[in-house]
Structure 1
């Protein structure tokens, strides 16, 4: 679990609730079911309207990355590439057939198949770069679903506040209800702005950072496979790829 994300969410919400309490307000005054329904329902509905189904579903699956980050072990990946390089050096590229059959990562398996087929280095790079680019663009679109939520929710919150004020204005005959009615109306604005800046936008940025890291991880494999195809010494390949360890830190 990504403890930093969990701690950040708890800290942000706690700061608001504790601040409300220290200012003399009641935490219960921030609880309002209709306002929550308007903000969350309206925001999700707007995003569903603008998104393609595949992108929206991908965004929902990627949501788990916020607290359970995908694992990109750059050091372990380098060791795998060096192992493949040693096999290719001793047995030739055809010696990688057994490795390719057992490789669980579809992207790495595709690269190994290109090596076994004797593809030219430029051809290997072009084919794998297309996979990386398409995957990165698709996942970035999915991450932007939450970015869009962060853009819509404050406006939907204002809409909820205005709807609440309409109800207040309809009860002007009871002045005693005006203060509490206006306070409840503005809870929707708090929900909209708070959800955008404490949840939706941070999640979007977190996901985009994971997408970028995934692309860098795959770039490392491309560089390694190109080096194997060019017959570079395993030690030189390792030295070249060690620069990627900073990316995975």
Structure 2
């Protein structure tokens, strides 16, 4: 699991709490049920209005992946593909049937099975690339859903503030309570901005990044499987696949030296 999202949430909300304490206020001064309900409920409703129920369900079902996402081990996939290419070159594709049973990656396993079954290379590539594109499209929809909510939240917060200020103007005859009511009115704007910039937009960015990594991993597997099916030289397969991996600057400098 990559803990970046959880760490980020703790740091972000921790900074907000610390700033409240440094101002000499109480956290309960901003934890008000009415504006929180308006902002969160209004944002969720606006998200549903601009989308479909199926999209909303898929977006929220993607949240565990955003929180518990584990980057794919692409370097391990490269080594597996090189080993498969070596065995296929020596013993033929049919010899890989036993090896396919030990592969944990479902995408690699199904693609390899297609190659073993004698699927035409162009057809196999088309099938695998369609699966990658379908995943990318679905993930993009989930990320867009949260990005849209991030756009709605601040405006919904302003609506909550306006509603509260109307209540303030109705009670101008109670000067002792005006300060508290005005402060409470701006809590809705606070929650709109806070949920937008610390929850919805970061979750959208997280889902986009997770999708990029997973689709890149799948695309590399497609190239590797095509080479295995073609009976390419294992050394060349390894070099080509490793050239597709993003290298760290330090490794690049070391290789250049």
Q: TM-score, structure 2 length as denominator?
A: 0.89
* Deviation string, structure 1 residues 130-168 (Cα, Å, up to 9, x no partner): 111111011110121111110111111111111111221
Deviates more, 1:177-186 or 1:83-92: 83-92
Q: Equivalents in 2 of 1:147, 1:229: separation in Å?
A: 41
Q: Is the 8 A contact 2:71 2:210 kept in 1?
A: no
Partner of 1:59: 59
Gaps of 5+ in 2: 250-257
Gaps of 5+ in 1: none
1:1-249 to 2 correspondences below 5 Å = 1-246=1-246
* Deviation string, structure 1 residues 6-29 (Cα, Å, up to 9, x no partner): 222222222222223323433321
1:246 alignment partner, SS class: coil
**What is the deviation of 1:247?**
7.0
Aligned residues: CA RMSD: 2.1
Q: Equivalents in 2 of 1:65, 1:89: separation in Å?
A: 38
* Deviation string, structure 1 residues 17-70 (Cα, Å, up to 9, x no partner): 222332343332111011111111111122123223332222112212233113
**What is the deviation of 1:203?**
1.0
**What is the deviation of 1:172?**
1.7
Q: Is the 8 A contact 1:100 1:109 kept in 2?
A: yes
Q: TM-score, structure 1 length as denominator?
A: 0.91
Q: Is the 8 A contact 1:69 1:210 kept in 2?
A: yes
Q: Equivalents in 2 of 1:127, 1:2: separation in Å?
A: 30
Runs of 4+ with >6 A deviation: none
